[in-house]
Structure 1
Amino acid sequence: MPRVVLHKNGQIYADEVKDNANLVVQAGIRKFPFPNLRYQCGMGKCSTCACRVLAGAEHLPPPNWKEKRQLGERLDAGYRLACQLWLTHDLEIAQDDTVTA
Structure 2
Amino acid sequence: MPKVTFHKAGEVHEGEVPEKGNLVVRAGIRKYPWPHLRYGCGMGKCGKCACRVLAGGDALPEPNWKEVKQLGERISEGYRLMCQLWLEHDITLEQDAA
Question: Common fold, TM-score beyond 0.5?
Answer: yes
Identical aligned residues as a percent: 62
The TM-score normalised by the length of structure 2 is 0.97
Partner of 1:70: 70
- Residues matched between the structures, number: 98
**Poorly superposed stretches of 4+, deviation over 3 Å:** none
Partner of 1:47: 47
Q: C-alpha deviations, 1:44-100, integer Å up to 9, x for none? A: 0000000000000001000000000000000000000000000000000000223xx
Partner of 1:5: 5
Unaligned 5+ segments in structure 2 are: none
The TM-score normalised by the length of structure 1 is 0.94
Change (3 A) 1:62 1:75: same
- Paired residue secondary structure (2:51): strand
- Paired residue secondary structure (1:54): strand
